[in-house]
Structure 1
């Protein structure tokens, strides 16, 4: 059966800076720290629904950061214990994607820099690293936008042998944050621990394949099987060159809920999900956990 994706007219992106200092004049703090192209774009949005900033004492905050996690455990703990929350909220027409969330997050990072605070992505409930802003016109989905990461095996007694193709079904991966691009979240479940990275890379590539759809509101009927290409995987990482030489990978989309799609093997594959992950995918999907994007030369 075909799958229907309904893209809304508007989306919302939200970030919070957890800090212990009074932010003072937020607008000045933001515009002084953003690079020129970012500052020019943000200055036109501040005070409109596309970019609203608000400061609250943590005790009165509308945002609960008590369960924030992050790769840097110290930053996550600082976010949980902070005394002030500065929110950055952006309500956007979907035609303003992905630049709108990109600018909202840059604003949150600028506030974090000014206060020595911790920026938190509300979609993933994770503390974000404060890294250089990069180029205004560069957007890379791999840059902490989908909130899906490689998990530890949830069961310390997992029976799977390292070489077993179908030894368990411990791993369940779900994106967190595609909704701010007007798209349903994606999930892949019942994956054996030895294939967790391959499953994560299939999730990443599918997200990238669907991303352009989020700029067009309304109902979109998708074929049950979606063809994932090497350029899709490259685009996720911000690479210009293909990352595998073989042809496209068919994946089957299933409607799990109105706001979530599942990823399964194509209907004509005779084996299990884990046999498909093991037998049918290019080797790089089993190997690549992360990589740096290509950067366009300055203009």
Structure 2
């Protein structure tokens, strides 16, 4: 067993959001500037305006039929209402908000693109589609997800945790860490009784891994690769931080990460120690015997 996992650092990360419009905007750039200035607090306001004035952000408005269709089935699976889907289906134009930035903290490409798309959408009462997920973001959901004055966000507002059933349990794969340049986390064969606690554990682990990633990508530097530890501790405080809350208790467990699928890398999450019922033991140790089974 090695001590570190070596992960490549992407040169550039991209974010794309779509605003589904009932009519074209005469000057999308001007509207975006005005709405960001009016609706967004600093320092996010200054970040978004600065990126709008640079080549790092593009606003591409076209008739809706000139863009590839968005997957209605996935949007519905990730929470889109019938009204959302109708608004998307009847949109005459789409404004694609795209941003690019280097990996590291802050993830300016995501923060700026989401803020700009949300501000334009609020002015036009239009739905916003997070193309990465894909997911339609309600206005209050989008606003809540943006960083506050201290630059903190809830990771659970930027990441989904879909799971599917298989012959030997559930498969979990995060959907969101790739926004920041990381492979997604995956766990196979999770017993049905552990779906809820294991999902909570993965949320906390995602936050912990993202913190480690950003620590190794200091401002102004961009290495070609980053080494992350193969064994990682995840605790109740990490889970709380992922959800934007506080937790005084410092209870932790340790898991092992394995880098799989070189063509589309994922980090498979495994117990640090081999043996039967290790997932059950981890959940019980972290949440307590009763909460670790639900």
Structure 1: runs of 5+ lacking an equivalent: 156-167, 290-299
Kindly state the Cα deviation for residue 11 of structure 1 after the two structures are TM-superposed.
Answer: 1.0
- Give unmatched runs, 5+ long, in structure 2: none
Task: Kindly state the Cα deviation for residue 286 of structure 1 after the two structures are TM-superposed.
Answer: 4.5
Give the Cα separation in 2 of the matches to 1:285 and 1:129.
35
TM-score by length of structure 2 reads 0.80
1:202 Cα deviation from its structure 2 partner? 1.8
Determine which of 254, 267, 271 is the counterpart of 2:276: 271
Give the deviation of 1:281 after TM superposition.
Answer: 2.7
Counterpart of 2:79 (choices 66, 71, 80) is: 71
CA offset at residue 185 of structure 1? 0.9
Answer yes or no: is the 8 Å Cα contact 1:209–1:232 preserved in 2.
Answer: yes
> Is 1:13–1:91's contact at 8 Å kept on the other side of the alignment?
yes
Q: Hey, what's the Cα distance between the residues in 2 that align with 1:209 and 1:220? A: 15
In 1, Cα distance between the equivalents of 2:130 and 2:285? 34
Counterpart in the other structure of 2:32: 30
Change (3 A) 1:220 1:96: closer
Match of 1:171, SS state, is strand
Q: How does 1:40-189 map to 2 (within 5 A)?
A: 40-62=46-68, 64-67=70-73, 68-69=75-76, 70-78=78-86, 80-81=88-89, 82-131=91-140, 132=143, 135-149=148-162, 154=165, 169-189=168-188
How far has the Cα of 1:207 moved from its partner?
Answer: 1.1
Q: State the TM-score, normalizing by the size of structure 1.
A: 0.79
Tell me how large the CA RMSD over aligned residues is: 2.8
Q: Aligned to 1:251, which of 242, 250, 255?
A: 255
Question: Which deviates more from structure 2 when the two are superposed, residues 9-18 or residues 274-283?
Answer: 274-283
- Hey, what's the Cα distance between the residues in 2 that align with 1:54 and 1:128? 19
Runs of 4+ in 1 over 4 A off after TM superposition: 284-287
Shift of 1:249: 1.0
The structural deviation recorded for 1:72 is 3.9
**Number of residues paired by the alignment?**
271
After TM superposition, give the deviation of residue 274 of structure 1 in Å.
4.0
Aligned to 1:205: 204
1:295 aligned residue: none
